[in-house]
Amino acid sequence: MTYFLFYSLFISVIICGTALYLTRSRWIHLLPVPDYIYHRLPSSFTGDLEAGLSSSQFDITANLADGDTRAGLDLKAKREVRNIMKSRKVDFDEARRIYTEQRFAKNNIGPDGRPRDPKFVSFS
């Protein structure tokens, strides 16, 4: 008797799971899933160029011309720069500048590139 119950439950789960998988395009948008899970960033220089992550000041076409086979720009940095571009409505260069200044501030470095440590001594 218990085998019949487990067998029925197993078959029901398989059928329901298959039906949900096949119809996921109809109901997946109703789930409260964060955007970053489904927003895939490109993982090559070609994809970065197509995604608008290049400019005259930060030109990655030379990487493409040289046949660079690396994975492209850093995924975490790309995500942050894209978020800045969307939230502040700025272009790629400005978003990259803002991102760099935020990274500097986290590491106690001023916008001019000099450390803010009061014990820092520089000889020029």
Burial of residue 95, with CB atoms counted within 10 A of its CB: 0-12 exposed, 13-18 middle, 19 or more buried: buried
Report the amino acid identity of residue 88. Answer: R
Whole-prediction pTM: 0.56
At residue 22, the pLDDT reads 92
* Band of pLDDT at residue 7, cut at 50, 70 and 90: very high
Joined tokens for residue 23 = 């119809």
Q: Is 115 left (phi over 0), alpha (psi -120 to 50) or beta?
A: beta
What residue segments make up the domains of the chain, in order of their start? 1-32
Q: What is the mean pLDDT of residues 56-84?
A: 78
Task: Look over the chain and give the mean of its residue pLDDT values, rounded to a whole number.
Answer: 81
Least confident of 8-12, 37-41, 71-75, 118-122: 37-41
At residue 18, the pLDDT reads 95
At residue 17, the pLDDT reads 94
Is pLDDT larger for residue 45 or for residue 101?
101
Residue-wise pLDDT for 8-50, tens only, equals 999 999 999 999 999 988 887 787 766 555 555 556 677 777 7
